[in-house]
Amino acid sequence: MTIRLRLTLYWAAVLGAILLVAAIAAAGLFERQQWAALDAALLEEAETTAEEIQRGSPAHAPEVVERLSKEADLGPGRRVRLMTAREIVTDSGDAHTAPPSVSPPFPAKSVMIRDRDFRFAVAPLTFDGQPACLLSGIAVTPIAGTIARMRNSLLLTVPIVLILCVAGGYWLAGRALSPIDAIRSDLDAIGPLNLSSRLPNPPVADEVARLIRVINALLERLERASATERRFASDAAHELRTPLAILRTGMEVALARDRSAEETRAALALAHREVLSLCKIADELLMLARLGGEVAVNRARLNLRELVADIAATVEPLAEARGARLIVDADTDVFLDANDAHLRRQLINLLDNALKFTPEGGSIEVAVTSESNRATIRVADSGPGIPPDEMPLIF
């Protein structure tokens, strides 16, 4: 079920409950007002007429009762009766309107007597020196019909209003959720090759705008993570390429001709050392991948002259295979605290770049110097060099 449909159903349930309560309240209030107005008018007329009869002569009572029975302002079927404990003094009005049965003792104050078809006001009085009461009532069919029509109107109106409001709510939900559909479409268009794309910011700083900012921040983190992953893969390939090339070249040189047992042992020792170096590089790359950053550097005291001579002996077969001369200028011991594996890998990468851009018959020179407590390793080749405009991009 879609969010739009769920919102519409929630809106329909809430609105239906509100309309039902409002319709019941409106019908009840209307009915109460109609009956209250009728009862008040009947009581007022009955009390006024009873006072008039009580003050006047008993002979005029039938005339007063008849006059009241002819008033039709409150409704049809008017019936008025004056009675004492012993007899009905006078009775006038619609014969179809049946007065209620009232027995002595009469009520001490005016009351209303109600049934399904009629409504009577009973007003006590003193007539000819004895207790009496005046009953004044009408048929309630017109008011009951008005109340029924009001209920029927509500029964017809409420469903129509509910249907229209639900349809409007469905449309409004669609309009409100249209930015979400737009975000979904824009996100579908963003693939792994275009993570640099971003969702457009809406002009209004609402909930959708905050969602878009969060999604754009997530895309930025994904882009950085993807770039880091690609860079890591590239660095790993670069780190492993040179030792593998050295290992392959050394094996090819060893297999090119028959060699003595001592030469074979030396070639195997060189290959074994390169394999160990590859294993160490793989372990360090795996550790970097797990940690997501550079590991702590374990330093030890090294002699740069011995390190450079060892690396030159390792790379020399590769230089010979490419027709280049490798010259080492490291006659003085230079000591420093460094990580052997990291420094060895950096020097091998530098020499690999030098071999790559040195033409056949060219030369590569590696020099080690020390001055003012500062060690320097210099790698120079006879290749074309680096264009000046690309120098700032090297590091």
pLDDT digits (tens, 9 = 90+) for 178-205: 888 888 888 888 877 777 788 888 777 7
Using the predicted structure, report yes or no on whether residue 140 has a pLDDT greater than 80.
yes
Take residue 188 and report the two structure tokens written for it: 């579908």
Contact predicate 166/7, CB 8 Å: no
What is the tens place of the pLDDT at every residue in 17-64? 999 999 999 999 999 999 999 999 999 999 999 999 999 888 999 999
Question: What pLDDT sits at residue 295?
Answer: 47
Contact predicate 315/346, CB 8 Å: no
Q: Please compute, for residue 368, the number of CA atoms within 13 A of its CA located in the half-sphere on the CB side.
A: 18
Using the predicted structure, report yes or no on whether residue 272 has a pLDDT greater than 60.
yes
Q: What are phi and psi of 291, to 5 degrees?
A: -85, -20
Question: What pLDDT sits at residue 287?
Answer: 66
Q: Report if pTM > 0.95.
A: no
Letter string b/e over residues 242-251, b meaning 16 or more CB atoms within 10 A of that residue's CB: bbebbbebbb
What is the tens place of the pLDDT at every residue in 220-230? 888 888 877 77
Question: What pLDDT sits at residue 294?
Answer: 46
Contact predicate 376/369, CB 8 Å: yes
Question: What pLDDT sits at residue 235?
Answer: 74
Question: What pLDDT sits at residue 345?
Answer: 82
Question: What pLDDT sits at residue 289?
Answer: 61
Out of 3-7, 69-73, 201-205, pick the least confident.
201-205
- Lay out the sheet containing 118-127: strands in order across: 88-93, 79-84, 130-139, 118-127, 111-114
What is the tens place of the pLDDT at every residue in 338-379? 888 888 888 888 888 888 889 888 999 999 998 888 899 999
Q: What are phi and psi of 251, to 5 degrees?
A: -70, -40
The answer to whether the Cα torsion of 95, 101, 102, 103 is positive or negative is positive
The answer to whether the Cα torsion of 188, 194, 196, 200 is positive or negative is negative
Using DSSP bridges, classify how beta strands 130-139 and 79-84 pair: parallel, antiparallel or unpaired.
Answer: antiparallel
The mean per-residue pLDDT over the stretch 65-84 comes to: 90
What is the tens place of the pLDDT at every residue in 211-221? 888 888 888 88
Using the predicted structure, report yes or no on whether residue 234 has a pLDDT greater than 90.
no
Question: Average pLDDT over the chain, rounded to whole?
Answer: 85
What is the tens place of the pLDDT at every residue in 155-171? 999 999 999 999 999 89
Please state, in angstroms and rounded to a whole number, the distance separating the CA atoms of residues 370 and 287: 33
Helix (H, G, I), strand (E, B) or coil at 393: helix
pLDDT: which is higher, 132 or 215 = 132
What is the tens place of the pLDDT at every residue in 78-126? 999 999 988 999 999 998 888 888 888 888 899 999 888 899 999 999 9
pLDDT: which is higher, 147 or 341 = 147
Q: Which stretches of the chain are assigned E, i.e. beta strand? A: 79-84, 88-93, 111-114, 118-127, 130-139, 300-303, 325-329, 335-338, 363-371, 374-381
Question: What pLDDT sits at residue 135?
Answer: 93
Using DSSP bridges, classify how beta strands 325-329 and 363-371 pair: parallel, antiparallel or unpaired.
Answer: parallel
Question: What pLDDT sits at residue 290?
Answer: 58
Contact predicate 365/385, CB 8 Å: no
First to last CA, the chain: 55
Contact predicate 156/149, CB 8 Å: no
In which band, very low, low, confident or very high, does the pLDDT at 291 lie, cut at 50, 70 and 90?
A: low
Question: What pLDDT sits at residue 148?
Answer: 92
